[in-house]
Amino acid sequence: MSKNEKPKLFLDWKTGKRFVLIGGILVSVAGGGIFAVQSQANAADASTVKSAFPTPPLDTTVNWENNKPLYYEVDQTGKEHPKPQLLLGDGVTPSWCLGLGIPLPNNSTTAQADESNKLFAKLNGDQKAIINNVAYLGRKEGGLEGYAEAQHAIYLLLDEAGISVNQAKDVVVKSNTLLQDANKIKDGANKLITQAKNMRKLPSFNNSTIELIQGVEKTVTDSNSVLPNFPYTKNNVDGLTISTNGNDLKLKAGIKTKHGTINNAVQMKNLDNNIPDNYIPWFIFSTDGDSTGDKSQTVLATQDPSQAKTQFNINIIGLGELKVTKKSENTKFDASLMAGAEYSIFYKNGTAVKWSDGQSGYPISVTNGTKANNTNAVLKVGTDATFGVKNLSNDKEYYFVETKAPAGFALDETKHAFTFDENSSFNSATSNYHVDGESKEKPTGSTSLVKYDADTNNTDTQGKGDWDGIVYGLFYTKNDTAVKWTDGIKSLPIAITYGTKDNDTNVELKLDKDNKVGVQNLDLSSNDQFYWKELRTSKGYSLSTKHIPVDFTGKETVDVSTNDFGNNKEVQNKALALQLQWWKAQDVNGSLTGLDGAGFTAKPLEGTKGKPVTVFSKSTTDANGFTKNGYTIFDGKANTDAGNASPDGLAWGDYEIEETTVPDGTQAINPFTVKTSVDVDDKGTPKSYKIVIQDTVTGQVISSSSISADKVTDNNILLKLDLGTITDKPTEKLKPTIQTQAHSKDGDKVIQVNEVSEKTAMYDIADFTNIEKGDRITSKLHRLVTDKDGKVTSDKVVQTLKFTADDETVKSQQHRFDTTADTTKDFDIPDGSTVTYVFTEDIVDKDADPDTGKPEATHDDLKDKNQTLTVEKVTPSIDVEKANAKVPDAGNGNHTDKDNNIGVNDHDTEDTYFEVKPKAETKIFFRGTNNGNEPLNHIKIVDKTTNGSVNIKGMTFTYNDKKLTVNKDGEFELDRKLLVLQPKESVIGSGTLDALPEGDLHGDKVTIDGIGVYSKKHVSDDDKWYGKVDEKPKSIVEKITGSLPKTGEDKAALGISIFGAALLGLAAYLKRNWIVSTYRKKVRKIRK
């Protein structure tokens, strides 16, 4: 660069860094300024460079005063060289000699700044910088002593570098020198050298990588003790703060600072930030035009110390910790109940955080709770209801989600997002930025209810009662509204644990086989009070409107089967009870007198649980204090005294009460029954109860009561009945009645063809009233034949059945008469006639003469449809079908089928013959079918050739895959017995048609015959089949020529030939089959 060129300034617009020096302590914040970069030059523009001293003149002189040496340098030869102070032409800027013993021509020698000075060029960069630093320190010290110390030090450094011609060996002062202390000059020179070299020394952390944890201030001490030499700092990192104090460097990274290693993160130097990195602070002057420094002295001037720069990297560690506290949405449930829940931590993209994802030296670890997975960050909540981790990389986005709910709580499926930023608190104990999280849990409840009998205190029922159809509903206590199935948590809907659903909207359940109902997954977050309520009861039990409270307190244990807080209940229902009382009396001369001591036993009938209850008539005192005899009561005390459970009376059921202890001189009353029944709705819920008390001997109904089921809501006393006074039996017997229902074997009123046999089963069910033991019943079976006009042409009694009523008949008031009849002749009747079988019955009193006694009741209406069975009419029918390629389907039969009725393989007419391949056999198949409703026998199949000379041979037939044989009459036999073909059954046959001559039309007809097994009617059917091998095709000319009439042919033949030729002439345009068919039809028409 020439003397007249000005330095060029380059600004680093990319980084935009700036350095700040405040109050002697350096503070650097990224983004504050930039370094200036300048090309190598001897001088800098004063407008851009802030130097310690002004820029010296570049084209000047070197001046000194004669006879005013500061001291003398002694070289290796002992020669003494006077050393005056040298100033440049501006009279201010000191300059120093670089060649001991090299002369200056005069005391105002010209000097030019010279980069090419060969003497100075022999030094390396560091040597140049140290010499410059000595000059700078000497100039900074000021005064003659500072100058002299610097000059001597420069000579020593040049000697050290090995480039000096003469070496400085000592310093001496004389009387004429301005300085008088040689040792001070030498000591000062050594100090300057030490200081100058130290100014080139870099801090101990130069080019190292310093690890920083965000949020933690770190102090790095310069062990080289040169940090104060570098007051200017360039910070290249956002969010990083830097300060210095002596040899201590303090660094602190904020949460926004980028993670990882940042190279050249911080640069520090000893010069102002406006001085460029390649700035040269020294000026070399060649004097008197000598660039070699050999002939004329080379001098050096400076305005700044030599530039020194240090830099280091930083490795940013950003740590984040999460602490989550779990809470219950219902404060009744303590936080300690959250223990055992598990949470997983994920990155925002759904990838699981792993324990190994931690930054080097800072593994992700548990702070609260315990580790639940050795690979992924899954934590188990502790008893303090918290979990937490530390050392997450805080520059990422996360979420935590519950992956296992604590016992008794629903899974929180919410993805709880969290990040770390400047608003996050900082935990100095863990060096982590801290985020708190919260997860609220919904407690869930299960409740069940088991129903017991209030008296047995278990699930055993009493009397005729059962548990079928009992329904309970679950309700909210606060508003008495029904709990709905949809009230559950979305991810955990209300589900049934016991019982079966009875309502698709509300939680209503029917008891299961163990008498239980129950649900799980109730949301207890806002509602924790419920009650069960009985909505429908069963037969024999009262309906209770009592609320069974289900209040969750948070103290419940978790039901392991449902993983809910369990609240299980028991409920008891009272069995319905009957109380009966009467007055036992005896007839004394027409007066009824109460009689004590008569014993009565109520014996449970079949289907009624319980032990017999015995009571005795006794005396009692009425409301007026009068004593009355004969009081008899079946009440709760009598029931429990007998060992039964209900303290309220006889359990609802059926009983027979008889007098088991008869006082002397009296006659026991007739036993009577107490029978109960129930009327239910379409869901089996009782609507009303009926109680009938009836004399078992006379059949007299003593009492009949109907009670609405509403009466036994919250009340189990079904009936309290006073039967009045019971004395002797009634003297008049009630007349019996009889009604019957006739049935064929399969339960209907039609004797179907498949039921016809010599012993066709049929039966009649007779229903009685007032039938008594010993009464004689006669049942007759009539066979009636009625003609087409409705007139009975035959009435014969074919069976007579007799029966004497027994205890079971009296009890059930019913009897079944089973019999058989020969119905095989019922089809051998005139056309239009009908056969029916009619049952009639009569009852003769047990005390009447069995042969002459007049019937007390009859049921003998021969037109009564209830006691009539009709014999189904037979319609025999048979069908045969014949086809090639496969076994044909069945047709309608009895000669009713149209030609070609079964499709593609049916060739029933000459015009629709099958085109047989030349020299090929044809397989022919047959199907004979009974398509009527009567079995057929005497079945025979005959096939005859109707056209051509070739017959079907090798015909065989099977029935149910068994081969059939033919008897001498040509009829089918199976296992040497005449085949009986049942309705819908078939015989299958096949045969082979040998190869047909070319042009020969083959035709055959198959016929099938059969006879109805019962009707003896003959039925038959037939089917045809045609086939032909077509002639070889002829040319049009041949066909026309062959069709022309020969001599002697008549006009008809001529017409046929002409017409045939015309048709053949159209062969090029028409399909062959159509031609052939049309031709055949026209020929037959002409011949006719």
Q: Are residues 610 and 534 in the same domain?
A: no
Output the domain CATH number for residue 925.
2.60.40
Q: Are residues 1018 and 1047 in the same domain?
A: no
User: What residues form DSSP beta bridges with 319?
Assistant: 393
Q: How confident is the model at residue 11 (pLDDT cuts 50, 70, 90)?
A: very low
Q: Are residues 154 and 301 in the same domain?
A: yes
Q: Are residues 566 and 450 in the same domain?
A: yes
For residue range 662-716, what is the model confidence (pLDDT) as tens digits? 988 788 899 999 999 999 999 899 999 999 999 999 999 999 999 999 999 999 9
Q: Are residues 185 and 62 in the same domain?
A: yes
The domain containing residue 131 runs over which residues? 37-202+280-310
pLDDT (0 to 100) of residue 284: 96
C-alpha atoms less than 13 angstroms from C-alpha of 61 in its C-beta half-sphere: 10
Mapped to the 3 state alphabet, what secondary structure does 820-859 carry? Answer: EECCCCCCCCCCCCEEEEEEEEEEECCCCCCCCCCCCEEE
537 within 8 A of 453, measured Cβ to Cβ: no
244 part of a folded domain? no
Among 696, 726, 756, where does a domain finish? 726
264 part of a folded domain? no
30 part of a folded domain? no
Check whether 1046 has a pLDDT greater than 70.
no
1007 part of a folded domain? yes
632 within 8 A of 581, measured Cβ to Cβ: yes
Check whether 608 has a pLDDT greater than 50.
yes
Residue with tokens 């002593």: 145
Nearest to 155 by CA among 189, 178, 184, 113: 189
Q: Which residue has the higher pLDDT, 49 or 89?
A: 89
Q: Are residues 450 and 566 in the same domain?
A: yes
For residues 548 and 1076, give the distance between their C-alpha atoms in angstroms, rounded to a whole number.
94
User: What residues form DSSP beta bridges with 682?
Assistant: none
- What percent of the chain has pLDDT above 70? 89
Q: Which two tokens stand for residue 557?
A: 């244990």
Q: Which two tokens stand for residue 691?
A: 């109680």
32 part of a folded domain? no
Check whether 536 has a pLDDT greater than 60.
yes
Q: Which of 366-370, 840-844, 891-895, 1083-1087 has the lowest mean pLDDT?
A: 1083-1087
Average pLDDT over every residue of 578-602? 87
Q: Taking the mean position of all CA atoms in its chain, how far away is CA 171?
A: 100
Q: Are residues 956 and 912 in the same domain?
A: yes
C-alpha atoms less than 13 angstroms from C-alpha of 535 in its C-beta half-sphere: 20
Residue with tokens 């609405």: 708
Give the SS3 label for residue 1061: helix
Q: How far is CA 948 from CA 206, 919, 1005, in A?
A: 123, 15, 12
Total domain count, the chain? 7
Q: Are residues 861 and 905 in the same domain?
A: no
Q: How confident is the model at residue 721 (pLDDT cuts 50, 70, 90)?
A: very high
Among 441, 469, 487, where does a domain finish? 441
Q: Which residue has the higher pLDDT, 852 or 1040?
A: 852
pLDDT (0 to 100) of residue 1036: 44
270 part of a folded domain? no
pLDDT (0 to 100) of residue 271: 86
Lateral strand order in the sheet of 240-245: 21-22, 25-29, 240-245, 248-253, 218-221
Output the domain CATH number for residue 349.
2.60.40.10
For residues 675 and 657, give the distance between their C-alpha atoms in angstroms, rounded to a whole number.
11
pLDDT (0 to 100) of residue 49: 54
pLDDT (0 to 100) of residue 902: 78
1080 part of a folded domain? yes
For residues 654 and 820, give the distance between their C-alpha atoms in angstroms, rounded to a whole number.
37
Q: Are residues 956 and 1017 in the same domain?
A: yes
For residues 882 and 902, give the distance between their C-alpha atoms in angstroms, rounded to a whole number.
9
* Complete DSSP assignment for 167-201: ---EEE--TTSS---HHHHHHHHHHHHHHHHHTTP
Nearest to 253 by CA among 426, 13, 33: 426
Q: How confident is the model at residue 273 (pLDDT cuts 50, 70, 90)?
A: low
Burial bucket for residue 297 (CB in 10 Å: 0-12, 13-18, 19+): buried
Check whether 5 has a pLDDT greater than 70.
no
Prediction pTM value? 0.54
For residue range 911-939, what is the model confidence (pLDDT) as tens digits? 899 999 999 999 999 999 999 988 999 99
For residues 249 and 447, give the distance between their C-alpha atoms in angstroms, rounded to a whole number.
69
Residues with Cβ within 8 Å of residue 195, at least 6 apart in sequence: 133, 137
1080 within 8 A of 911, measured Cβ to Cβ: yes
Q: Are residues 859 and 894 in the same domain?
A: no
Q: Give me the amino acid identity at 844.
A: V
Q: How far is CA 312 from CA 20, 269, 878, in A?
A: 18, 12, 113
Output the domain CATH number for residue 821.
2.60.40.3930
245 part of a folded domain? no
pLDDT (0 to 100) of residue 1033: 54
Per-residue exposure over 106-144, b if at least 16 CB sit within 10 Å of its own CB, e if not: eeebbbbbbbebebbeebeeebbbbbbbbbbbbbeeeeb
Average pLDDT over every residue of 210-217? 96
Among 260, 294, 310, where does a domain finish? 310
Lateral strand order in the sheet of 1001-1012: 914-915, 1018-1028, 1001-1012, 936-947
Q: Are residues 297 and 149 in the same domain?
A: yes
Q: Which of 19-33, 472-486, 1063-1077 has the lowest mean pLDDT?
A: 19-33
Check whether 502 has a pLDDT greater than 50.
yes
Q: Are residues 854 and 885 in the same domain?
A: no
Nearest to 271 by CA among 310, 241, 314, 244: 310
C-alpha atoms less than 13 angstroms from C-alpha of 1088 in its C-beta half-sphere: 6
Lateral strand order in the sheet of 529-536: 500-501, 508-510, 471-476, 529-536, 548-551
Average pLDDT over every residue of 116-140? 95
Radius of gyration of the chain measured on its C-alpha atoms? 65
Q: Which of 96-110, 269-283, 408-422, 870-884 has the lowest mean pLDDT?
A: 269-283
Taking all residues of the chain, what is their mean pLDDT, rounded to a whole number?
88
For residues 1003 and 997, give the distance between their C-alpha atoms in angstroms, rounded to a whole number.
13
